Amino acid sequence: MALEDYRGDMEMCCRCSTCKFIPMQKVKGAQYVNVCPSIAKYNFHAYSAGGRLNIAAAMLKDGFKYTDKLLDIVYNCQLCGACGVSCNYAMDMEVLQPISEFRLRCVEDGKTNPALDKVIAGLQKQGTMVPGAKGKRGDWATGLKLKDATKEKVDVLYHVGCLTSYDKNMQKLAKATVKILQKAGVNFGIAGNAETCCGGRAYQMGYKEDFLNQAKKNMDMIKKAGIKTLVTGCADGYQAFKVLYDKYNLKGDLEVLHISEYIDKLIKDGKLKLNKKVNLNVTYHDPCRLGRLGEPWIHWEGKKVPGDRFVFDPPKEYRRGTKGVYEPPRDVLKSIPGVKLTEMTRIKEYAWCCGAGGGVNESNPGFARWTARERIEEAGSTGAEAIVTACPWCEKNFSETIKENGSNLKVYDIVELVEKAI
């Protein structure tokens, strides 16, 4: 669906500002009430979801008038989707979709962000979202003797993802994952150098064609290799394979699981035992694209029923963030002996974003760190020693922010803790 198709949704915005805050009944005090990093940082209403919808609706009506400010607004958004969850508690209207479509439109119109152009150029050249990546994608696995899923029959393809593959500090996640899967006796493989970027982050940045390109490459490889189940440790990858590929009818029957879901399943099936004590007080950060945006895509086409209500034929079921992946990572953490989980104020469907999504990490690192800082402070307020996440982009942003600003808080991916427990 194009931006035009969301005209009715955009016009439904009543400017109530709910999109700026966590759901009202979840507000626990004066602090941690914001849910949208963009309006929280930039304050002009234009940076809120409501403001964005009103601007987009006005542009549809009066023509697109690009200014530097407009592009500043467009690109300073992590597209984390929290606005939509808060809005959709009460309203039946799409929020994130038109905002996302507006960005696609900007790129289509050539109104791109130079920093993002550079990243996409890297993607086009090297098939990765890690600019200036050195070496080969599968180098991290050297010596691990893992199965090549493109050549050998495996039950599970472990899609490693760009950051985990190329970033030296993140490769530990891939190694931990391998250890866990091996311990559980899973017949899995990787695609090694044949793996390519999922395209999800390119899509967030507004580069739809590049996303589709990547999606096609991936699905060709997967089909060719006869892969039935894909496990990824990256929330962006998870959302790309599971939701975006489905949105564009590319997913087919592929089962997509996040590593946290898979580990949870392995534990519950008795295939993985967590025996070693890991004495740690932790809090869990829901990555946006594993949580609220990990909710399955709902295919729908229909027309508004004429009359007083904004209803459709056939009825439209909205994705309100209800069916995201919230419990499996928590269940995994709870299974680790010695780990004590204390929740933050903003969790699950209304979790505060780490700041790294939507291209912000690349286009405005300062804003990405600012967003992370807020989350780190919130995590610290729980008394936890560590913040645990389930996405390398979150971990990287948190770690770098802590390095920059100082904090005693440790940052872990969930697989790192599981690795310690086996």
Partner 1 sequence: MALNKEVYKEFEDVVGEENICNDPAIMPAYFSTEFAAVILPGNTAEVQAIVKLCNKHKMQFRPICTGWTGMFPPGIILLDLRRMNRIIEINEKNMYAVVEPYVISSQLQAELMKRGLNFCIKGAGTNCTAMLRGHGHMDQTTSGDDRNHLAIEWITPEGDIVRSGSLGSSDEWFCGDGPGPSLRSILTSAVPPGVTPGVFTKAAVKLYHWSGPSAYPVEGISPHYSLSEIPPNMMARYFSFPSVEKMWQAELKIGESEICFELMGFNISMVAANITTSNEEEEETFNRLNKEVQGPGFFVIVVGDTPADFEYKQRVLEKIVSENDGKSLKAVEDPRIEGILMCQCTRISASIRETFRNGGAFNSIPIMGQRDLTIKWAIGAGKAKEPLIEKGYIVDDGGAFFGWGVEQGHLGKTEIFCKFDPGNPEAKAAVEGWQKEQNRRAFTERYFASTMGPQDEIGPALLNYHLWWQKITEALDPNGVSPSGGSLV
Chain residues binding partner 1 by CB under 8 A are: 8, 11-12, 14-18, 21, 23-30, 33, 42-46, 48, 50-52, 54-55, 57-59, 65, 67-70, 73, 85-86, 88-92, 307-311, 315, 317-318, 320-324, 326, 348-350
Minimum separation from the CB atom of position 42 to partner 1 (A): 8
Residue type, 71: L
Residue with tokens 């009103």: 54
Minimum separation from the CB atom of position 33 to partner 1 (A): 5
Question: Would you say 194 and 221 are in contact if contact means Cβ atoms under 8 Å apart?
Answer: yes
Minimum separation from the CB atom of position 12 to partner 1 (A): 4
Q: What distance lies between CA 183 and its chain's CA centroid? A: 27
Q: Which is nearer to partner 1, 90 or 121 (CB)?
A: 90
Q: Which is nearer to partner 1, 201 or 348 (CB)?
A: 348
Minimum separation from the CB atom of position 64 to partner 1 (A): 10
Q: Which is nearer to partner 1, 186 or 325 (CB)?
A: 325
Q: Which is nearer to partner 1, 157 or 360 (CB)?
A: 360
Minimum separation from the CB atom of position 197 to partner 1 (A): 31
> Would you call 304 helix, strand, or coil by DSSP?
strand
Reply yes or no: is the peptide bond before residue 287 cis, omega within 30 of 0: no
Q: Among 285, 118, 127, which Cα is nearest to 205's?
A: 118
> Would you call 286 helix, strand, or coil by DSSP?
coil
- β pairing state of 303-304 and 312-313: antiparallel
Q: Which is nearer to partner 1, 223 or 323 (CB)?
A: 323
Query: Mind giving me the DSSP string for 75-105?
Result: HS-----HHHHHHHTT--S-SHHHHHHHHHH
Minimum separation from the CB atom of position 13 to partner 1 (A): 8
Minimum separation from the CB atom of position 132 to partner 1 (A): 31
Q: Which is nearer to partner 1, 25 or 275 (CB)?
A: 25
The Cα-based distances of 352 to 16, 44, 177, 373 in angstroms read 20, 19, 26, 11
Q: Which is nearer to partner 1, 17 or 229 (CB)?
A: 17
Q: Count the neighbouring beta carbons within 10 Å of the beta carbon of residue 337.
A: 11
